């Protein structure tokens, strides 16, 4: 049976359901599921928290009619392994569902096509790849971590047309407008961790947490977790009394192995130093990946953000651009010491643009 317009519409609905877990599923993926029988939706569900039921289970629990002959739309291949919850494939097979439409295979190596095989062996018709690009976008962090052990790193910057992030004096509040700042709240809420540097903490004293009232209206009904705040402080410039260590949610103070920094109040992490005495960035990401964090938001100044770009560690660059010109005396977007020729330039690919009130949001992905 070919893919129909209805298949696409039901999968679209399953993706909308999956987005209800946007802020809470880490380390798990965001998954939505819709059950359809005789062209009627008879059940729907989504995964909300690790340890709680998968989307398929949630959907089946909401049905009040027998499932035999029904079609299941699910945004990720059903699992076939015993994890914190039982395998979903068995449940679908036992329910006598006759067709399963799947957006994408599960990149988790213990599933990775085996779930689909189990369904096929049980005589269930399987359709794979419906709205796959949208499903992959929704779980770009989970996919990257499964494939590489590293989280998906989003670097967010606010700037003027001429890519200045602040005046020479440091004055920077606010270059972009209120609506752009609301979108930053969404970026934070969907991230398992937010990384910043000691310089930003000293200058701006930011909270880097999610404030319910500042989320866009469309997201205000959605549960969220505070992202882990990761503060890089290679030179030990901060004290454990900094505000950012003592807000709701977890914070971790990262320094180099050479540092004598310690605290009874704040969790510390010591990481290999680079030749220049900075914190090696890749091991920080590896540590976050091991902790099950799928997406990381980098909210840092020009030095730290530039270091991530220099090390090719940015998966996505999200620029909020205000339609202003600040002139050459303003502060540069990214400090990268070792670019001297055009061929040294770091290359990205344009992804998309959105108008956000008077500002625009430009997104670029790794080139």
Buried b / exposed e along 132-159 (16+ C-beta atoms within 10 A): eeebbebbbbbbbbbeeebbbbbbbbbb
345 lies in the site for its own copies, by CB under 8 A: yes
Nearer to its own copies, 40 or 329 (CB): 329
Instruction: Kindly state the number of chain residues that form the binding site for its own copies, as judged by CB under 8 A.
Output: 49
Among 174, 196, 225, smallest CA distance to 25 is for 225
Interface mask (CB under 8 A) for its own copies, residues 197-236, using x and -?
----------------------------------------
Which member of 58, 102, 175, 228 binds its own copies (CB under 8 A)? 175
Active site residue 56: yes
At its nearest, how many Å lie between its own copies and the CB of residue 310? 8
| For its own copies, the closer CB: 229 or 331 | 331
CB of 336 to its own copies, least distance (A): 3
Exactly one of 44, 48, 56, 127 is catalytic; name it. Answer: 56
Report how far residue 134's alpha carbon sits from residue 143's, in angstroms, rounded to the nearest whole number: 13
Q: Considering the rule CB under 8 A, would residue 168 count as an interface residue with its own copies?
A: yes
Among 113, 223, 283, 367, binds its own copies (CB under 8 A): 367
Classify residue 269 as exposed, middle or buried by CB count within 10 Å of its CB (0-12, 13-18, 19+): middle
The two three-digit tokens of residue 267, written as one number:
């969790």
CB atoms within 10 A of CB 249: 14
Alpha-carbon distance values, 324 to 162, 169, 178, 204 (Å): 8, 17, 15, 22
The backbone region for 170, taken as left when phi is positive above 0, alpha when psi lies in -120 to 50, beta otherwise, is left
DSSP for 175-199 reads SS-HHHHHHHHHHHHH-SEEEEEHH
- Choice between 155 and 201, CB closer to its own copies: 155
Report the 10 Å Cβ neighbour count for 364: 18
> x/- site string to its own copies, residues 292 to 331, per CB under 8 A?
----------x---x--x-------x-x---xxxxxxxx-
User: What does the alpha-carbon distance between residue 167 and residue 176 come to, in Å, rounded to a whole number?
Assistant: 14
Per rule CB under 8 A, is residue 181 in the interface with its own copies?
Answer: no
Q: Is 355 in the site for its own copies (CB under 8 A)?
A: yes
Q: Which residues bind its own copies (CB under 8 A)?
A: 159-164, 167-169, 171-172, 175, 302, 306, 309, 317, 319, 323-330, 332-337, 339-342, 345-350, 353, 355, 358-360, 362, 364, 367
Which residue numbers are catalytic? Answer: 56
């Amino acid at each position: 049976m070919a893919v129909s317009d209805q298949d696409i519409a039901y999968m679209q609905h399953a993706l909308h359901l999956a987005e209800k877990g946007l802020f809470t599923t880490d380390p798990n993926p965001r998954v939505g599921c819709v059950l359809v029988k005789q062209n009627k939706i008879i059940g729907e569900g989504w995964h909300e928290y690790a340890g709680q039921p998968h989307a398929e289970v949630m959907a089946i629990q909401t049905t009040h009619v027998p499932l035999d002959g029904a079609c299941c739309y699910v945004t990720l291949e059903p699992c076939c392994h015993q994890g914190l919850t039982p395998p979903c494939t068995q449940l679908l097979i036992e329910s006598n569902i006759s067709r399963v439409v799947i957006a994408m295979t599960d990149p988790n190596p213990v599933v990775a096509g085996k779930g689909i095989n189990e369904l096929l062996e049980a005589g269930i018709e399987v359709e794979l790849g419906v709205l796959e690009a949208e499903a992959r976008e929704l779980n770009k962090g989970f996919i990257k971590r499964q494939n590489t052990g590293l989280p998906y790193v989003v670097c967010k910057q606010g700037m003027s047309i001429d890519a200045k992030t602040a005046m020479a004096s440091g004055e920077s509040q606010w270059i972009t407008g209120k609506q752009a700042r609301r979108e930053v709240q969404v970026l934070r809420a969907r991230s398992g961790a937010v990384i910043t540097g000691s310089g930003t903490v000293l200058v701006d004293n930011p909270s880097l947490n999610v404030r319910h009232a500042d989320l866009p209206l469309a997201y205000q009904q959605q549960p969220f977790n505070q992202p882990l705040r990761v503060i890089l402080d290679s030179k030990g410039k901060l004290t454990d009394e900094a505000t950012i260590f003592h807000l709701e949610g977890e914070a971790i103070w990262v320094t180099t192995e050479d540092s004598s920094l310690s605290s009874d109040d704040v969790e510390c992490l010591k990481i290999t130093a680079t030749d220049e005495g900075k914190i090696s960035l890749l091991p920080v990401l590896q540590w976050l990946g091991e902790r099950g964090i799928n997406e990381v938001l980098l909210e840092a100044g020009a030095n730290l953000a530039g270091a991530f770009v220099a090390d090719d560690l940015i998966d996505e660059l999200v620029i909020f651009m205000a339609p202003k010109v600040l002139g050459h005396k303003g502060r540069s977007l990214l400090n990268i010491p070792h670019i001297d020729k055009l061929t040294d330039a770091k290359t990205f690919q344009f992804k998309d643009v959105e108008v956000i009130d008077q500002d625009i949001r430009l997104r670029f992905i790794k080139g």
